Structure 1
Amino acid sequence: MANREYDYLFKLVIIGNSGVGKSALLLRFADDTFSENYITTIGVDFRFKTLKVDNKGLKLQIWDTAGQERFRTITNAYYKGADAIVIVYDTTCQQSFDDIEKFWLNEIESYAEKNAELLLLGNKSDLSTKQVQSERVQEYAQKRNMMFFETSAKTADGVEEAFKKIAIKLMAKRNQQVQDKRNKRKQQKQSSSSSLRTDDSQQYGDGKQDDEKSNVNLWANNSTEQAKQGQQCQC
């Protein structure tokens, strides 16, 4: 990372029902802090977090969106350009999980990038009043091709691991995209070189045929001249 703070920059957007702990998760991950006082997010908020993985710097720009319906027309614009969408539900609230299928996935399909990665977080795992069973969510996440973790913003359990895993996945995906582009350019270059060789071969072959035709005409002309001389009077 010489002369640079990071090697990769990724945008993440956190969504989910109001009160599931989106802001608490962001503060725990970005600033390692937690507050018992619940404050509703007005519109959007964001934080930066830099990680180091395999000697590479990963900088995450994480947007925290308001879950209340009156703010959704504002927050929809922040899906654009997101590399990953973090969907949060409350493990003690069944409705917050059910609304993922009923509402939030439709939002993602409507506004997010088609190839955005999905991370599903079941927050408040430290509470004993769990309503959403982990096994059910795990099956759902696999069906929907999501990474899944249970987390607690209060105790920090699972928070850093979840964000780090999605960051590593994004880094691998970016590397693969770069490699695919290199391979494509290489194939195009090889195809272009092959085409040039074919054209040269055709041009050389045409020249050879022209020479053979010229030789045939030359011999034909010589035979004609000899025949004429044979017909001349020898008196």
Structure 2
Amino acid sequence: MIKEYDYLFKLVIIGNSGVGKSSLLLRFADDQFSESYLTTIGVDFRFRTLPIDGKNVKLQIWDTAGQERFRTITSAYYKGADGIVMVYDVTQGQSFDDIDKFWLHEVESYGEKNVQLLVIGNKNDLDEQKQVESSKAQEYCKSHNMLFMECSAKTADHVNNAFLELSRKLMAKKDASQPPKSSNPTPTGSQSSQSKAGGSQSQNTSQTKLSANSSNQKKQKDGGCC
């Protein structure tokens, strides 16, 4: 059976309501974009398999609701996640502040110990309305050892690059955590020949001793020694 993928990673997308989490997932998973806004009820998910550096990487991506009334439900989906994507709207300063005030604490409370974090500043095509400077967000993410990208769900390339960068990071972490493969070296031709030669020499020595003993016993029986 041909293996469908080489790596499987679970990702969870979190952030305030209305920052564009569902739009990012729809763009990445289905390459679609819609101006109409639909609120996520509870959770939604998509699969996508990507060829990365000669390997097939399958991503299981969960889109969670940002409304407070759903947060007790969505927190259960943090368990087992390899990566968590925190999204904010670059035109809403509060959505960025809430990453530090709320969402990062959620990850620390419910996420896995070594989960990889990616922060995405969405809607960066709205330059005139921008409230969160790129340099500020980048410095914050760097200080917390998190990946950072800005993009717009309207543009496929930037969205794809964000998930590709996260996937490569997860692949590297997965490979680093694998124990080294042990191998039993087979004897070389010369070692094998030496082993056979040693066995043959030992066998010849035993036969010589046996022959000498038989000769001595025969002389003693005949009453002679020389």
| Aligned counterparts, 1:18-167, within 5 A | 18-128=17-127, 129-167=129-167
Return the TM-score normalized by structure 1: 0.75
Deviation of 1:158 after TM superposition, in Å, equals 1.3
Q: Secondary structure, in 3 states, of the residue corresponding to 2:171?
A: helix
User: SS where residue 50 of structure 2 aligns?
Assistant: strand
TM-score (normalizing by structure 2): 0.78
Q: Distance in 2 between matches of 1:56 and 1:155?
A: 25
- 1:154: how far off? 1.4
Report how far residue 157 of structure 1 moved. Answer: 4.7
Number of positions where the alignment pairs a residue of Structure 1 with one of Structure 2: 183
More helix by percentage: 1
Is 1:182 aligned to 2:184, yes or no? Answer: no
What is the CA-CA distance between 1:156 and the residue it aligns to? 2.6
AA of the residue aligned to 1:141: C
Q: Deviations over 1:169-197 (max 9, x none)?
A: 1011101111xx237x89xxxxxxxxxxx
Query: 2:158, 2:52 → 1: CA distance?
Result: 18
d(CA) in 2 for partners of 1:100, 1:93: 12
Given residue 63 of structure 2, which amino acid in structure 1 is its aligned partner?
D
1:86-141 Cα distance to aligned partner (Å, 9 max, x none)? 00000000000000011001100100001000000000011121000000011001
Provide, for residues 64-101 of structure 1, a one-character-per-residue CA deviation record: whole Å limited to 9, x for no partner: 00000000011000000000010000000000000001
CA RMSD, aligned part only? 1.5
Letter in 2 for 1:124: K
Instruction: Report SS of the residue matched to 2:13.
Output: strand
Which consecutive residues of structure 1, in runs of 5 or more, have no partner in the other structure? 187-235
SS class of match (1:182):
coil
